[in-house]
A and B are shown apart, each in its own frame.
Chain A
Amino acid sequence: GAVVSQHPSRVICKSGTSVKIECRSLDFQATTMFWYRQFPKQSLMLMATSNEGSKATYEQGVEKDKFLINHASLTLSTLTVTSAHPEDSSFYICSARENRDGNYNSPLHFGNGTRLTVT
């Protein structure tokens, strides 16, 4: 089955530093990847849609200068949390849909998430 690898799984950083999270599709190509944020015992909130070779599309209320997304290839998208603060502490999850599956009538494949703690 399609596998999405997300790294790191856990990171602790100091306030003011930046953290990069990688999301790779291991055995398929993905023009589009999605970044979600999840607070404890809550649902997933879509942050942005990452598009290979073009700018990401951010959801309303998500600061694009704070959460930098780069989708440089068909198998890799990165999310960089810049100048992180304690309120950015959360669980970040990426997902991707196989290109061959076409548009929306296909499932998303999720990474295992990154637990970010900003001290």
Chain B
Amino acid sequence: SQQGEEDPQALSIQEGENATMNCSYKTSINNLQWYRQNSGRGLVHLILIRSNEREKHSGRLRVTLDTSKKSSSLLITASRAADTASYFCATSQGGSEKLVFGKGMKLTVNP
């Protein structure tokens, strides 16, 4: 079953602005991962944050995790038109190798 829920569902911003996407989940997790999908393509892994971590950075990406609120956020700074894509959060739960994906969020960065 789908667990993660991204918010907002769609976001349109201008190049150079920051984009923030939120993800909520319901059960305890091992880690939370963010993926990006260009239209009609597979997913690309962006960043993984473990349940005992609170913040992680990778280039222009910043991810936070609040296990008490069961939520995560992905911040993309200084957005570019090439960042236009759908973004998904996914959680790993219990001892399972499976990932459960959220509904996704469509980000449009206008040049």
Q: Please, how many residues of chain B have a CB less than 8 angstroms from a CB on the other chain?
A: 26
Contact indicator A6/B42 (Cβ below 8 Å) = yes
Contact count band on A: 20 to 34
Are B42 and A49 closer than 8 Å at their CB atoms?
no
How far, in angstroms, from A91 to B30 measured CA to CA in the complex? 28
User: Which residues of B does A touch, CB under 8 Å?
Assistant: 2, 30-31, 33, 35, 40-45, 48, 50, 88, 92, 95-104, 106
Between-chain CB contacts (< 8 Å), 27 pairs: A4-B42, A32-B97, A36-B101, A41-B106, A42-B103, A42-B104, A43-B88, A43-B103, A43-B104, A44-B43, A44-B88, A44-B101, A45-B2, A95-B42, A97-B97, A104-B31, A104-B92, A104-B95, A105-B31, A105-B48, A106-B48, A108-B43, A110-B45, A111-B42, A112-B41, A113-B40, A113-B41
